[in-house]
Amino acid sequence: MTNPLLSDWGGPFALPPFAEIRDEDFGPAFEAALKAARKAVKAIAENDAPPRFDNVIEALELSEALLDRVSGLFFNLAGADSNAAREALQRELAPKLAAFASEVTMNKRLFARIEALWRDRAALGLSAEQLRVLELYRRMFVRAGAELDGAEAVRLKAVKARLAVLGTQFSQNLLAEERDWAMPLTEADLEGLPDFVVAGAKAAAEERGLMGHVLTLNRSLIVPFLQFSPKRKLRETAYEAWVARGANGNAHDNRAIAAEILQLRAERARLLGYPSFAAYKLEPEMAKTPAAVRELLMRVWAAARARAEADAAALTARMHADGLNGELEAWDWRYYAEARRKAEQDFDEAALKPYLSLDAMIGAAFAVASRLFGLEFREIGGPFYHRDVRGWEVTRKGRHMAVFLGDYFARGAKRSGAWCSAMRGQRKLGGEVRPIVVNVCNFAKPPKGEPALLSYDDARTLFHEFGHALHQMLSDVTYGFISGTSVARDFVELPSQLFEHWLEVPEVLQAHARHVETGAAMPEEMLRKVLAGSTYDQGFATVEYVASALVDLAFHEGAPPADPMAKQAEVLAELGMPKAIRMRHATPHFAHVFSGDGYSSGYYSYMWSEVMDADAFAAFDEAGDAFDPEVAEKLERFILSAGGSQEADALYRAFRGRMPGVEPLLKGRGLLETA
């Protein structure tokens, strides 16, 4: 039979033929794709014709087309709908793909042709976009070790291959920990829980083929349980299981893996001539240096810690009033913070959720994109890669812009968290290619026949990931190398975090936050409380985030620690971490940092981008309209459609006219008065 992964994908939008693809098709497809890519790269490197932009850079852009297509599908499935076969192949592929990447970027003849173009760039008559792509290709090759020779080159290849294996193992261990843990809940254990939490626990049991109700480590289920369960012992058990992922002394323990990853990253940096992995990693980012990152984080830390300590005192007093003596613990914070919010602000998260159905919030995100950028969304049928996945065609003035897939519910086969990826990116080279963009979330799935209700945090996550999706959908560049989210890591979160602001625009909630049963609009008083409470408990949220970012930086800034857990404890002690708050991501489950190099030394990126997103939304405030068409047009032209066509700070200055300071971030988090 013909392998559907190797055939042309016809049909509407050239989507993958999901229903025809079997797991056993992927191995042969990767072998064929790697063979084709090697052949193409060899031809480029050994071409006797003088190097030109078209026969080197443009040829490289198209050389891995089949590999990109197969990889784009497979790695989406491996993250969102894993199984034993896919996990096994992922482990097998990790060193193979790392070896291939090293073959390409450390190919001396190929690099010599790129260097020749770079040397003669002024005489080549290249466009600004072509010059940028040439610069980035050369930078990628140099940073990958193209200038190394002999034993150092051999060692670097081995280091990168081992890192690929370890990152895959870290991810799969974490998935197994989350998949394997569940806590049965008796009828008595459900006492005090809102209906939506009870429904979520029932659906979680059904998903696992169990009767009754269970609590899982899915964030959208465990966080509300910690908020609402009056049973302190259950909260403690659940919380400790949540934060112990990857550190349970079993076959899925990630602590030794994290230590080896840090050692190898430090060695990689030394081989390339950098004093530390953080120095290496941050060089092409907006921050440039570890010192710049630390300066931002410590400026915010002081304000956040002061607020958190004041809040901890108030929560401790509330706990003591409940007749519980002793210190406030980590499993108490959310419960008493929710109780305090209800008492002081008369805000009830459980009463809010019926106004935030999943369908309503998808509609809200689409409506905002339509008003800002003229996009239209038409739901399309599958089949897609899982029965829960939904799809839409995205158009503008009749022009096809993208296919958008939404995969919103938690399941055991899906890694935790939320993310945006592209099964296919945008480019114009070789003919117009429009993207297939995927948003993956882990919202609690309701029992069959019932609507999915989101917390306000869930709704914010949906808007966040859709902001990333817009960065892909609106991309308008020639070269795939710089399309969509192919930008500096500390810039990539700007579109996503900026889009979150529209969830707080009153007219958006007035139009879309309607009761799931009655259709009634959110009451004015509730709307006022939602918007007024946007900075509630930001001391806690900021402390748990900044602590994680500072630990990440410390891991990579100096000599690699032999014991990452001891280093983590040392950093937190030096910071004066409040006792009742833990890191958002402890080392053994810090997937951002250890599942790959993506956010290593870069977890600060969310806050670096937040400095910009607060200032960027202020541009709409200054125009007097959250949907001002001129500001929206500039946002699309200089940020969302531009990809990596210029350095990030140049793109931001083109949009805003200047770079912002940290004050808008502190104000947005309600921390300015404590700074």
- Quote the CA–CA distance of 636 and 634 in Å, as a whole number: 5
Q: Which residues of 194-313 form beta strands (DSSP E)?
A: 213-215
What residue has token string 């800002």? 372
Sign of CA dihedral 75, 80, 84, 87: positive
Active-site entry in 207, 465, 493, 557:
465
- Quote the CA–CA distance of 51 and 471 in Å, as a whole number: 33
What residue has token string 């899925």? 252
Cβ neighbours for 317, distance < 8 A, ≥ 6 positions apart:
none
Burial of 13 (0-12, 13-18, 19+ CB in 10 A): middle
Q: Which helix (H) or strand (E) holds 421?
A: strand 419-424
- Quote the CA–CA distance of 406 and 611 in Å, as a whole number: 28
The dihedrals phi and psi of 189, each to the nearest 5 degrees, come to -70, -20
What residue has token string 């997937």? 591
Tell me if residue 496 falls in helix, strand or coil.
Answer: helix
- Quote the CA–CA distance of 497 and 493 in Å, as a whole number: 6
Closest CA to 585 of 570, 573, 598, 568: 568
Beta strands 419-424 and 390-396 are: unpaired
The Cα-based distances of 151 to 145, 155, 158, 260 in angstroms read 12, 6, 11, 21
State the CB neighbour count (10 A cutoff) for residue 468.
Answer: 24
Tell me if residue 380 falls in helix, strand or coil.
Answer: strand
- Quote the CA–CA distance of 58 and 480 in Å, as a whole number: 10
- Quote the CA–CA distance of 34 and 18 in Å, as a whole number: 22
- Which residues face 183 on adjacent strands? 215
Whether residue 383 has a cis bond before it, omega within 30° of 0? yes
Burial of 524 (0-12, 13-18, 19+ CB in 10 A): exposed
Cα end-to-end span (Å), the chain: 66
Beta strands 376-380 and 213-215 are: unpaired
Query: Which two structure tokens, joined as six digits, stand for 163?
Result: 């890192």
What residue has token string 């210190």? 327
- Quote the CA–CA distance of 610 and 464 in Å, as a whole number: 12
Of how many residues is the chain composed? 675
DSSP codes joined into one string, 7-35:
S---SGGG---GGG--GGGHHHHHHHHHH
Q: Is 432 a catalytic residue?
A: no
Active-site positions?
465
